[in-house]
Amino acid sequence: MPKTLTSIEAFHEFIAEHRLVVIHIMRDHCSVCHAVLPQIAGIVNEFPDVPLGVINQSELEEIAGELSIFTVPVDLIYFNGKEMHRQGRFIDMQQFEHQLTLMYKSMV
């Protein structure tokens, strides 16, 4: 189940609490953002102990500056607190799953 992150502090805590995390950034009235979220959630659900954080940029405008986001949706993979993979606007689900698999296998 995705966790909604509503502050920059909550975002940083979420990243720090988990070794491998996925972050989905979206906006209100973005049909692509809302269509991509269940697909990303489905992929993440296949990886035990990998949490999914969701940030609504419409409610947390500062995230754009914090993460240099110029378009949505943006899906990020963080490993050991560092951004390791980013896809924006057009999300290639196969590539995203491949990158997540590589990082997940390196944890085991």
CATH of the domain at 71: 3.40.30.10
The domain total for the chain is 1
This prediction has a pTM of 0.95
pLDDT (mean) for 80-93: 95
At residue 1, the pLDDT reads 83
Average pLDDT in the chain: 96
Residue 16: what pLDDT? Answer: 97
Distances (CA, A) of 93 to 3, 39, 75, 103: 20, 8, 10, 15
Task: Spell out the residues 6+ positions from residue 15 whose beta carbon is closer than 8 angstroms to its own.
Answer: 21, 23, 78, 81
| In the predicted structure, residue 108 carries a pLDDT above the cut 80 | no
Cα 13 to Cα 66: distance, rounded to the nearest angstrom? 14
CA atoms within 13 A on the CB side of 69: 26
Q: Tell me the one-letter amino acid at 85.
A: H
Question: Which residues span the domain enclosing 48?
Answer: 3-106
| Residues 21-35, mean pLDDT to the nearest whole number | 96
pLDDT tens-place string over residues 32-85: 999 999 999 999 999 999 999 999 999 999 999 999 999 999 999 999 999 999
**Across 1-108, where does the E strand assignment appear?**
3-4, 20-26, 52-56, 74-79, 82-88
